[in-house]
Amino acid sequence: MKALLEHILKGIVKHPEDVVVVQLEDGDKKVYEIVVNEEDVGQVIGKDGRTIKSIKILLSSLSGKDDFTLKVVR
């Protein structure tokens, strides 16, 4: 799932080389921390969080799992 997340992020940002995804465990939930270039933070979240929501929907549909959180870190 981390690889898929990276593929999507690198496709939509201006600075693909700055994309970093860190996978953490929070109890029994997985957390994916997303670090992107300052300039791309808005793009990744989207208006009213639409883009990050779309990414979440796509990831959970494709993996069949819903027990994870996406976090965009500044």
Partner 1 sequence: MKRIRIKAESVEDALEKARKKYDLREGEYKYEVKDKGFKGFLGLFAKEAEVEIVLKKRYYERKVEEFVRGILNFAGNVSKVQVRGNGKTYFVYIDGEDVGKLIGKHGKTLAALQHIVTIYVNRLSDVKLNVVIDAGEYRERRKRQLENIAKEAIRKVQESKGKVELDPMFPFERRIIHEIVKKYKGVTSYSIGVEPYRRVVIEYVRRQVNTRR
Residue ranges binding partner 1 (CB under 8 A): 1, 3-4, 7-8, 11-14, 43, 46, 50-51, 53-55, 57-58, 61-64
Token pair, residue 43, equals: 């793009």
**Beta strand spans in 1-74 (E):** 20-26, 29-35, 68-73
**Measured from the CB of residue 32, what is the shortest distance to partner 1 in angstroms?**
14
**Measured from the CB of residue 4, what is the shortest distance to partner 1 in angstroms?**
4
**Measured from the CB of residue 27, what is the shortest distance to partner 1 in angstroms?**
25
Other beta carbons within 10 Å of 36: 25
Of 61, 60, 58, nearest in space to 30 by CA:
60
Is 11 or 27 the residue whose CB approaches partner 1 more closely?
A: 11
Is 24 or 62 the residue whose CB approaches partner 1 more closely?
A: 62
Radius of gyration of the chain (CA): 12
